């Protein structure tokens, strides 16, 4: 039992529920609009990738909303309070990720004319590699999406009194509804709307929180005094939670696995009318990522200033650090009905966009990589209905997974980590195919299995033997200004209090600890990627023999030798391993598609 008196904070009011309900109604309405507007478009291509007629603006907003989930809204500010503003280094990670994605991966996927990312693996390697990667993607995405729905709903419920299962089922039903009715266009435009809600929600918290804490200069000075801005840490230890290297470098590996080769990202990029629009969508999305990151980090600094002398988690007012942001919002908006609902709408906008993108991507992958392989010559009308049916199925599965997550207890953290553990090997697999022409299907499959094994081994080892406090280095959390239950500080309390000032979070206490940016999971991604690409993929390909360009189209590869051997045409040609190639052989047609002359 806490030795401190918990302040009375009101629960959700009617107006808060009205604001949240408005988010769901508008989201569903967008789905209805596109269902009516696109009713004459009968093909699965129209439903799944928008007929490749999307423009860069809405796609950019959609990408930002989908990958800035409720985990970012709730988890990042609490990380800043506990460990400092190290997340600012993600500016570097995001920039590198977008440049690599736009200049390396998108040209390959867009010019290949594929719908499913994993279709590339069959074109480059063979059907076995494609099926293995597809199954892995489906499993990890269902598991991840279900937990992403449940974890923030639980955090909000325990602080605000917001109905837990009502929000979980509302999320699943609404996402399934507009995904099924409107297809990718509904997902993209709903994401764009939800991105605006996220920014407005963050800004309302930043503005009111800053006003209540003495203005920007006072918030900034408090952060400096509390060492929250002392982030110049260049320790090369890969197991450290937050350093320049674990975030700038490790974060690049993690996010490149999420952005560069993820079906959800690629599907929206290839829905653009031209490759230029696809690249521009990514670069505009980078601006969106910077905006959300800035809002999240500065919300953390404002929250630290507000709770400087009485940290609610250390004092026992909340059960986990992930509940700190909702608690802060309910505190500053206690006399402003409707604004807490706006923040919850902000958090759930991230959840809705993530879930909708996952449902749409799962339906696309399943239809393109499994259904079309089993059933040949499906009519356009049937393909559209099958695609819609798959959206319903995966919407139900993701919602059921959220229910299962509530029964998993400490396993939730492991479930969340599967997304990161799968990202590394998948990134290594696609990198093998694109950068190294001599890689064959045996090396690709062996590399994928090796990468998965190494990533799971490292991640599970981290759960069994959690890192010591020396690797996390939490900052001071004070409780000396909290109101005591007994105004007289007795001897027992005076001995307990100093230890609570620097309490560290036990692994099982935080539902979202697995994906809030810890170095251990960026390390897992790097191990998985490098294990797949270097340790086994290249080695197995070298032993079993390269393909000497016999079955590889130059459109499917972009060898690293283009950069390394730019000074010598002779060595560049040798590194292409017999693949005939001339940059002039790839030409863009008037309709934005590409073809080869050779």
Q: What is the pLDDT of residue 374?
A: 82
Residue in the structure block whose two tokens are 């695609």: 387
User: Hey, CA dihedral for 570, 575, 580, 583, is it positive or negative?
Assistant: negative
CA 554 vs. chain centroid, Å, equals: 31
What's the alpha-carbon Rg for the chain, to the nearest Å? Answer: 25
CATH superfamily of 17-405: Sodium/glucose cotransporter (1.20.1730.10)
Half-sphere exposure of 545 (CA within 13 A, CB side): 4
Specify the DSSP class assigned to residue 336. Answer: S
State the burial class of residue 588 (Cβ atoms within 10 Å of its Cβ: 0-12, 13-18, 19+): middle
Model confidence, pTM: 0.82
Print pLDDT tens along the chain (598 aa): 456 777 777 677 888 888 888 888 888 888 888 878 766 666 677 777 777 888 888 899 888 888 777 777 888 898 899 888 888 999 999 999 999 999 889 988 998 888 888 999 988 888 899 998 998 888 888 888 888 888 778 777 777 777 788 888 888 888 888 888 888 888 888 888 888 888 898 899 999 999 999 999 999 999 999 989 988 888 877 777 778 888 888 888 878 877 888 888 888 888 898 899 999 999 999 999 999 899 999 999 999 999 988 989 888 888 888 888 888 998 898 888 888 888 888 888 888 888 888 898 899 899 888 888 888 778 878 888 888 899 999 999 988 888 887 776 544 454 556 666 777 788 888 988 888 887 888 888 888 888 888 777 776 766 666 666 666 677 888 888 887 765 544 433 333 333 333 333 333 334 333 333 345 455 555 565 666 666 677 888 888 875 544 567 777 877 666 666 555 666 666 565 556 555 444 444 444 444 544 3
Residue in the structure block whose two tokens are 């260049």: 234
Which sequence spans correspond to the domains of the chain? 17-405
CB-CB neighbours of 512 under 10 Å:
26
Q: What is the pLDDT of residue 563?
A: 60
Helix (H), strand (E) at residue 15: helix 14-37
Provide φ and ψ at 163, rounded to 5°: -60, 120
CA 526 vs. chain centroid, Å, equals: 16
């Amino acid at each position: 039992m806490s030795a401190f008196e918990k302040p009375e904070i009101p629960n959700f009011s009617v107006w808060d529920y009205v604001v949240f309900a408005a988010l769901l109604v508008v989201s569903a309405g967008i789905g209805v609009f596109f269902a009516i507007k696109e009713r004459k478009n009968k093909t699965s291509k129209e439903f799944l990738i928008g007929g490749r007629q999307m423009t860069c603006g809405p796609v950019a907003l959609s990408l930002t909303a989908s990958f800035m989930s409720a985990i970012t809204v709730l988890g990042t500010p609490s990380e800043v309070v506990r460990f400092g503003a190290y997340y600012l280094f993600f500016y570097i990670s995001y920039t590198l990720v977008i440049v690599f994605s736009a200049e390396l991966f998108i040209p390959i996927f867009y010019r290949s004319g594929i719908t499913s990312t994993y279709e590339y693996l069959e074109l480059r390697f063979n059907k076995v590699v494609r099926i293995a990667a597809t199954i892995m993607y489906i499993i990890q995405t269902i598991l991840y999406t279900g937990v992403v729905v449940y974890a923030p709903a639980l955090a909000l419920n325990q602080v605000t009194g917001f109905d837990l299962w009502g929000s979980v089922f509302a999320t699943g039903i609404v996402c399934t509804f507009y995904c099924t009715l409107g297809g990718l266009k509904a997902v993209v435009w709903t994401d764009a709307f939800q991105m605006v809600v996220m920014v407005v929600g963050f800004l309302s918290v930043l503005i009111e929180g800053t006003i209540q804490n003495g203005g920007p200069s006072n918030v900034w000075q408090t952060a400096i005094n509390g060492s929250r801005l002392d982030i110049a840490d260049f320790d090369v230890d890969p197991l450290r939670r937050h350093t320049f290297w674990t975030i700038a470098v490790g974060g690049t590996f993690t996010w490149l696995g999420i952005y560069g080769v993820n079906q959800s990202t690629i599907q929206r990029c290839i829905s653009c009318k031209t490759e230029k629009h696809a690249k521009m969508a990514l670069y505009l999305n980078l601006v969106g990522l910077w905006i959300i990151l800035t809002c999240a980090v500065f919300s953390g600094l404002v929250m630290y200033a507000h709770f400087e002398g009485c940290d609610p988690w250390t004092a026992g007012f909340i059960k986990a650090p992930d509940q700190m942001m909702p608690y802060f919002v309910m505190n500053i908006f206690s006399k402003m009905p409707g604004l807490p609902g706006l923040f919850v709408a902000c958090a759930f906008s991230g959840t809705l966009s993530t879930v909708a993108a996952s449902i749409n991507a799962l339906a696309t992958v399943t239809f393109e990589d499994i259904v079309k392989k089993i059933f040949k010559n499906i009519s356009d009308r049937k393909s559209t209905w099958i695609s819609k049916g798959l959206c319903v199925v995966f919407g139900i599965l993701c919602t059921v997974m959220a229910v299962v997550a509530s029964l998993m207890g400490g396993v939730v953290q492991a479930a969340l980590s599967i997304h990161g553990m799968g990202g590394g090997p998948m990134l290594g697999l696609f990198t093998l195919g694109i950068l190294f022409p001599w890689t064959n299907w045996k090396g690709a499959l062996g590399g994928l299995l090796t990468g998965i094994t190494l990533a799971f081994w490292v991640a599970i080892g981290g759960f069994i033997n959690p890192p010591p406090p020396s690797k996390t280095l939490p900052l001071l959390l004070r409780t000396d200004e909290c109101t005591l239950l007994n105004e007289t500080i007795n001897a027992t309390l005076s001995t307990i209090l100093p230890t609570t000032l620097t309490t560290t979070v036990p692994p099982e206490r935080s539902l979202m600890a697995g994906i809030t940016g810890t170095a251990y999971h960026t390390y897992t991604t790097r191990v998985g990627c490098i294990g797949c690409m270097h340790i086994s993929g290249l080695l197995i390909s070298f032993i079993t023999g390269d393909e000497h360009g016999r079955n590889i189209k130059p459109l499917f590869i972009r060898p690293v030798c283009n950069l390394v051997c730019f000074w010598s045409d002779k060595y560049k040609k040798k590194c292409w391993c017999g693949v005939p190639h001339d940059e002039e052989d790839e030409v863009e047609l008037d309709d934005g598609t590409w073809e080869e002359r050779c």
